[in-house]
Amino acid sequence: MHVDVGNALSEAATPGVPRDALDRLDDRVADAHRRISEGMDAGEFGYAALNLPETVDAGEIRAAVEPFADADTVLTVGIGGSALGAAALCDALGDDTRTEFLDNVDPAGVRDLLDGIDLSTTVMHVVSRSGTTAETLANFLVVRDAMQDAGVDWTERTFVTTGPDGNLRDLADAHDLPALSVPDGVPGRFSALSTVGLPVAALAGVDIEGVVAGAREERDSLTGSLFDCPAYAYGALAYALDSRGAGVNAVMPYSEGLETFAEWFAQLWAESLGKDGLGQTPVRALGATDQHSQLQLYRAGPRDKMVSLVTLRDRPDVPIPSSDLDGLDYLDGASLGSLLDAEFRATEASLAESGCPSVRVELDALDPESVGGLLYGMEAACVLAGELYGVETFTQPAVEWGKTAARGLLRGDESLPETPSLRVE
């Protein structure tokens, strides 16, 4: 991962970060890095996720999924951090194996998905760290029922990843299902590079060893200075810009394969840093599509944003055929890739010209090493930002509140606080 923060430092940027402020912030980055390193060394909850490039066993994961290598469709049943890491990896790097993700419990969506797949050639991966999440367990029961109706032995077509306790662990034990364990100390949204995110990626043909190698390279670049470490440069700049008014972080990859990465990032950033009245609101965008919609707001709307532009240094290309249309000479000899790159550069320049701060994140290519480095780098950036904000990065009390309340309602507990209402019908 390569990071360029120049357009956040420019005097024209509003908000912007003066260079001397960045130098001062670097002292705090050094302190935060010491704290992060101690946490990693001790395998403390959350910090342990940054050790995954060393601790994950890709061979164990490959062996676990090997019996399912013949599946036409791989269906992940999980939600939040239990689904988004695998989805980001598969969308960026997966091959033809069909990967589906059942996270929401919208009946129409679940029905459509089940109607569209052949359950006899589907393998289901049920993922829940706690093993108790209502949406995941409900969706599992629905898919299991559909498999039984289709005459499929679900116990032959299901494997799980879960923690030591909970309903899912009990289920795996009761039916002798193949079960991987969520590693100790790794919270859901930091688990992409573990037994949570990698099994389905492996089934989708992703070179998971390459992903881990890329993450390891990024891990080796964690130093005590934001000027030497792309991940810390990103985390520190996002924090510094937010402190100066950029409460919105629009993440705009110029690669369709990274569209789900933006979704993964949004969860990581929001659920980890949104605490104690602090945190930056992540927004998802896609280049060049959103140049034709959201860019208007980024350039000319309220000065409360930074834009994270993510691009590739190299990409497979499609030439643009020569045309017999008047006025299209600028496309002669061009390709879709060169057009997308030109759109990227134009957006970056447009933001700079309007004084909207942006940070450029570049990958060498959409390959396993680069994507592994990107996921790891953003996790490290998030952990650093959490230290700078002084929040508890690895907890999610607001999410847990909602989970408990929903379960309570289903049990008939109507003691939720009153929601103000003014009906207009």
**Catalytic residue numbers?**
271, 292, 403
Interacting residues of 148 by C-beta distance below 8 A, sequence separation 6+ = 154
Instruction: Pick between residue 116 and residue 402 the one whose CB is nearest to ligand PA5.
Output: 402
Question: Phi/psi class of residue 235: alpha, beta or left (left: φ > 0; alpha: ψ in -120 to 50)?
Answer: alpha
Rule CB under 6 A: choose which of 189, 219, 284, 360 binds ligand PA5. 189
Rank residues 311 and 393 by Cβ distance to ligand PA5 and give the closer one: 393
80 binds ligand PA5, rule: CB under 6 A: yes
Cis-peptide into 53, omega within 30 deg: no
Nearest approach, Cβ of residue 406 and ligand PA5 (Å): 12
Half-sphere exposure of 308 (CA within 13 A, CB side): 34
275 counts as binding ligand PA5 under rule CB under 6 A: no
Candidates 7, 76, 122, 128: give the one binding ligand PA5 (CB under 6 A): 128
Q: Tell me the residue number closest to ligand PA5, measured at CB.
A: 188
Q: What angle do CA 305, 381, 371 make, to 5 degrees?
A: 100
Question: Could you tell me the smallest distance in angstroms from the CB atom of residue 137 to ligand PA5?
Answer: 9
Shortest Cβ distance from residue 190 to ligand PA5 (Å)? 7
Least separation in angstroms between CB 103 and ligand PA5: 9
Instruction: Note whether 9 and 21 are within 8 A (CB).
Output: no
Residue of the chain from 25, 79, 236, 382 that contacts ligand PA5 (CB under 6 A): 79
Q: Strands, E, within 281-349: which ranges?
A: 281-284, 305-312
271 contacts ligand PA5 (rule: CB under 6 A):
yes
- 275 CB contacts (<8 Å, ≥6 apart)? 389, 391, 392, 395
Q: Which is nearer to ligand PA5, 249 or 396 (CB)?
A: 396
Q: For the CA atoms of the chain, what is the radius of gyration?
A: 23
Sort 134 into a burial class: Cβ within 10 Å, 0-12 / 13-18 / 19+. Answer: middle
Which among 77-85, 338-346, 352-360, 374-382 is the span making contact with ligand PA5, rule CB under 6 A? 77-85
Minimal distance, residue 195 CB to ligand PA5, in Å? 12
Q: Which stretch binds ligand PA5 (CB under 6 A): 73-81, 140-148, 151-159, 339-347?
A: 73-81
Among 7, 73, 76, 82, binds ligand PA5 (CB under 6 A): 82
Minimum gap (Å) between residue 269 Cβ and ligand PA5: 12
Name the strand (E) or helix (H) holding 348. Answer: helix 336-354
Structure tokens given for 40 = 């990693």
Question: Alpha carbon 180 to chain centroid distance?
Answer: 21
- The residue behind tokens 């945190």 is 279
The smaller minimum CB distance to ligand PA5, of residues 232 and 264, is found at 264
Within 317-356, the residues that bind ligand PA5 by CB under 6 A are none
We find the least distance from the C-beta atom of residue 189 to ligand PA5, in angstroms, to be 3
When asked if residue 197 is in the footprint of ligand PA5 (CB under 6 A), the reply is: no
Per DSSP, 168 falls in state H
**Residue 188 engages ligand PA5 in binding (rule: CB under 6 A):** yes
CA–CA separation, 394 and 188 (whole Å): 9
Residue 133 interacts with ligand PA5 (CB under 6 A)? yes
| Cα angle, residue 29 at apex, residues 385 and 248 outer, rounded to 5° | 30
Among 39, 53, 81, 373, binds ligand PA5 (CB under 6 A): 81
Decide if 116 contacts 147 (C-beta within 8 A).
no
Q: Least distance in Å: CB of 130 to ligand PA5?
A: 3
For residues 79 and 403, the answer to whether their CB atoms sit within 8 Å is: no
- DSSP state letters, 39-80: HHHHT-TTGGGGGHHHH--HHHHHHHHGGGTT-SEEEEE--G
Mark the segment that binds ligand PA5 (CB under 6 A) among 40-48, 187-195, 278-286, 320-328. 187-195
168 vs 233, beta carbon nearer ligand PA5: 168
The only residue of 99, 130, 280, 291 in contact with ligand PA5, by rule CB under 6 A: 130
377-406: which residues touch ligand PA5 (CB under 6 A)? 396, 399
187 touching ligand PA5, by CB under 6 A = yes
Interacting residues toward ligand PA5 by CB under 6 A: 79-82, 128-130, 133, 136, 187-189, 271, 396, 399
